[in-house]
Amino acid sequence: MSRRPLFLGLAGAGLFVAALDAYVVVTLLPAMSGDVGITIENFEQATPIVTGFLAGYVVAMPLLGAYSDARGRIPVYVACLAAFALGSVVTATAGLWSFAQLPWLVGGRFLQGLGGGGLVPLSLAIAADLYRDRSRAVALGSVAGLQEAGSVLGPIYGATVTAAAAGLAGWRFVFWLNIPLSLLCAAGLLAAGRRQDAGVPATSAIDWLSALLLGLGLGALVFALYPDDPEHRAVNALFVPGGVVAVVLLGAYAWRQVRRLEPLIPRDLLRSPAFLGATAANVLIGAALIVTLVDVPFVGRLVFNLEALDSGLLLTQFLIGVPIGAVAGGLIASRIGNRITAIAGMAVSAAAFLQMSSWTANELDLHAGPLRQADLGLAVCGLGFGLVIAPLTAGVLALTRGQSHGLATSLVVLARTMGMLVGLSTLTAFGLYRFHQILGTPVLNDTDLRERVKHLERLVAAAFLQEYREIFVIAAALCVAALLVIALSLRPARTSGGT
């Protein structure tokens, strides 16, 4: 019996565990940030807890695939799992000692992201190594699907595990749990894949200059977008110099990568409007997707006053919509083509976001038949995102030869994660600025402190609701922008195999 499915399954499982942690913090953020001394009035300081992971993820993703070509998949994969597990330990211990405060937590999340991000190209490369026939596309798709599934399931997973472990270690349990899971995956891979790695030459090195350019560029970008004084301005006081430094560094990285990647990716592909369009569309989709994954649980907590678990569960309908849409997208694209299907997906999500932009404080009480209106809106939104995944990925794969499928799929994931990182940073800065503008400086004249705090809670909830309505409108605009990019760049042809 072939060991390939087991081997790929273990690699995929490690990737899935790491991808879960990208947004696992969304529902845990209030508790985590409180434990490192962040209070609601300084909540912008919690942003790097999410963006730190994404930055590590994006830095590692393009670096480690090529490195593993020479060093061997399994040693590099296990090293990435070790980095992810170490980052989990650092994250889990944040706030336990006076020296382990916010920088410690962000450092842990960055390390988690570095390890987790490295697993994306490695898993894709393992899939490509194992399957060299027609089933390669299915294997690559499965790995990419696990990464996507991990990302979108993260918030609900975090809330569920934390609720189950309330008496143990609360939110910390989510990160402690990564240790045995990483160990299991690493041990399984080492046991199952020893033979696959034999005889791999050890001659290559990590492209440290690229790593430095990308890491510093992303750091400068996240810093430029960090809202250091959201009460008075939307972006950092050093936005312009920080932004210029980010553009220069990321431009240098891109230039270097284009030169280095030429042997791997055909020049025609890099100049192909379809490839560039799909990449741009994925950046926009990532930015819109992050609105749902991060902001919907926040609306649940801050506006609908739900517990952590319930705010995570609010995403359930969205999560059901995505795979249904993905399957439907594959079927529809094969009949009417990738472009029309992807456009339809974005149109559906844009419409759902517009509906969500009219949410009220008692939205969860409003029903359409037996279903809550909010759940319907989220399910439709997820359906739209699902519809676009398959045709867009297939569109990119159709442009590449079989041996480049791993790299091409990796670039799709990279573009989407990049969009998530930039989208999250930008929308958080905008959102916090708008929140302060909307809330103003309320004067509370209630007779008792508790009444005054309750009054403030109502005002804060109303300000957050208005802020998130505006963010949903922006998300709708991002979907429309992605729709236009797809319409102008993606080939109208039906799904096809690699050329």
Partner 1 sequence: MTRVLALAMLAMLALVACGGNAPPPDAGKILSDSANAMANVLTVGATLKLTKGVVSIKGFVLVSARTAVRMPTDSDTVYTVKQQDVSFALEIVMAGGHVYEHIPFTPLREVTGAEARAFPDMARLFDATTGLPAIIPAGTSTKYVASEQLDGKQVDHVSTQYTPEQVHSLLAYLNSSGPVTANLWIRSSDHLIPKAVLDGAFGDGGKDAAVEVDITNFNGTVSITSPAP
Angle at 311 between CA 120 and CA 412, to 5 degrees: 20
Nearest to 192 by CA among 74, 72, 67: 74
Backbone φ and ψ for 372, nearest 5 degrees, come out as -75, 140
Q: Is 163 in the site for partner 1 (CB under 8 A)?
A: no
Sequence letter at residue 83: A
Longest dimension (CA), the chain: 77
- Least Cβ distance, residue 428 to partner 1 (angstroms): 17
Which residues share a beta bridge with 371? Answer: 368
Q: Can you read off the two tokens belonging to residue 57?
A: 């993820």
- In 226-371, which ranges are continuous DSSP H helix? 239-261, 267-270, 273-290, 296-302, 308-313, 316-336, 338-356
Q: Can you read off the two tokens belonging to residue 381?
A: 């939104």
Nearest to 456 by CA among 443, 437, 447, 438: 443
Q: Is 442 in the site for partner 1 (CB under 8 A)?
A: yes
Interacting span for partner 1 (CB under 8 A) from 34-42, 282-290, 353-361, 398-406: 34-42
Interacting span for partner 1 (CB under 8 A) from 78-86, 150-158, 199-207, 441-449: 441-449
Q: Can you read off the two tokens belonging to residue 352?
A: 């759902």
Nearer to partner 1, 339 or 434 (CB): 434
For residues 26-42, b (16+ Cβ closer than 10 Å) or e, as one string? bbbbbebbebbebeeee
Q: From the list 97, 271, 443, 499, which residue makes contact with partner 1 (rule: CB under 8 A)?
A: 443
Q: From the list 6, 9, 31, 260, which residue makes contact with partner 1 (rule: CB under 8 A)?
A: 31
Q: How many CB atoms lie within 10 A of CB 144?
A: 24
Which residues share a beta bridge with 372? Answer: 367
- Least Cβ distance, residue 314 to partner 1 (angstroms): 16
- Least Cβ distance, residue 462 to partner 1 (angstroms): 12
Q: Is 457 in the site for partner 1 (CB under 8 A)?
A: yes
Instruction: Give the C-alpha distances (Å, rounded to integers) separating 30 from 75, 183, 364, 417.
Output: 37, 29, 22, 23
Residue with tokens 């609010």: 314
Window 189-218: contact mask with partner 1 (x via CB under 8 A): ------------------------------
Q: From the list 38, 58, 192, 388, which residue makes contact with partner 1 (rule: CB under 8 A)?
A: 38
Which residues share a beta bridge with 367? Answer: 372
Window 421-440: contact mask with partner 1 (x via CB under 8 A): ---------------x--x-
Q: Can you read off the two tokens belonging to residue 126?
A: 């393992």
Q: From the list 453, 458, 492, 497, which residue makes contact with partner 1 (rule: CB under 8 A)?
A: 453
Nearer to partner 1, 301 or 405 (CB): 301
**Hey, which residues between 234 and 253 contact partner 1 (CB under 8 A)?**
none
Q: From the list 208, 209, 307, 371, which residue makes contact with partner 1 (rule: CB under 8 A)?
A: 307
**Hey, which residues between 463 and 482 contact partner 1 (CB under 8 A)?**
none
- In 131-238, which ranges are continuous DSSP H helix? 136-164, 171-176, 178-192, 208-225
- Least Cβ distance, residue 386 to partner 1 (angstroms): 32
Q: How many CB atoms lie within 10 A of CB 240?
A: 11
- Least Cβ distance, residue 109 to partner 1 (angstroms): 19
Nearer to partner 1, 98 or 203 (CB): 98
Calpha distance 39→41 (Å, rounded)? 6
Q: Is 450 in the site for partner 1 (CB under 8 A)?
A: yes
Q: From the list 5, 6, 9, 34, which residue makes contact with partner 1 (rule: CB under 8 A)?
A: 34
Nearer to partner 1, 227 or 345 (CB): 227
**Hey, which residues between 284 and 303 contact partner 1 (CB under 8 A)?**
301
Q: From the list 14, 30, 154, 329, which residue makes contact with partner 1 (rule: CB under 8 A)?
A: 30
Binding site for partner 1 (CB under 8 A): 30-31, 33-34, 37-41, 301, 307-308, 436, 439, 441-444, 448-450, 452-453, 456-457, 460
